[in-house]
Chains A and B, each alone.
Chain A
Amino acid sequence: GAGVSQSPRYKVAKRGQDVALRCDPISGHVSLFWYQQALGQGPEFLTYFQNEAQLDKSGLPSDRFFAERPEGSVSTLKIQRTQQEDSAVYLCASSNPTSGGAEETQYFGPGTRLLVL
């Protein structure tokens, strides 16, 4: 079946603009994750959804970052008043945990490369 898709693949924003990044997880996957990956570094956790519930947003760097998944499928990561330090690749991943709490493998999308000028 189809993998995780993200759009847009590339986004250039002027400092102060708002941006919205979309993630379509694998159909049926309960869990959805957002990561931020700076150039030359590993991904860093931003937030996690189980269905429509946002269970962990401890990684969001500031209150300018907001994520939602209103129907438990597609998710949007919104960044308000973008700053140059927000420039990074934003990765989305989905998984389908088994019963008993064991985490299954996360499958990643291609990412959205955000450049804030």
Chain B
Amino acid sequence: AQTVTQSQPEMSVQEAETVTLSCTYDTSENNYYLFWYKQPPSRQMILVIRQEAYKQQNATENRFSVNFQKAAKSFSLKISDSQLGDTAMYFCALDETSYDKVIFGPGTSLSVIP
């Protein structure tokens, strides 16, 4: 069965510092997608970054980057130069191409401290 694990329920980081959120997953598929979604207190789920499993190069989006380790089934998110607006719940998600549904992890609550 597909599972997504986020072992850090809560994290905090000083403004302008760097923080890394961890995610591990389990799948028997070789082709799949991984996502990090952000959900601020307003509850609108927003895509942060996406990684295709067949691509070895780690995805980057401005201050956000991932460390994708396919063999270890690890997909961590690094946020550089943290800003107050980064305060939110962050969900790691797995989308296997042979299935229709996306499996979400339990989330990590990130607080950016001024």
Contacts and interface: CB of A to CB of B under 8 A. Distances in A.
Interface residues of B, number: 24
Given A41-B107, A42-B105, A42-B106, A55 B100 contact: yes
B43 A110 contact: yes
A27 to B, nearest CB: 18
Given A89-B43, A91-B45, A105 B35 contact: yes
B100 A42 contact: no
Contacts of A72: none
B107 A42 contact: yes
B91 interface: yes
Contacts, number: 56
A59 B104 contact: no
Contacts of A105: 35, 47, 50
A92 to B, nearest CB: 10
A33 B91 contact: no
B113 interface: no
B95 to A, nearest CB: 5
Interface string A99-117: 0011101111111010000
A44 B104 CA distance: 7
B95 A107 contact: no
Interface in A53-88: 55-56, 59
A108 B107 contact: no
Interface of B: 4, 33, 35, 37, 42-47, 50, 91, 93, 95, 97-98, 100-107
16 contacts: A33-B101, A33-B102, A41-B106, A43-B104, A45-B102, A59-B101, A89-B43, A91-B45, A102-B97, A103-B95, A105-B47, A107-B47, A108-B37, A108-B44, A110-B42, A111-B43
Q: Rank and list the top 4 A-B pairs by shortest CB-CB distance, nearest first.
A: A42-B104, A108-B45, A45-B101, A48-B100
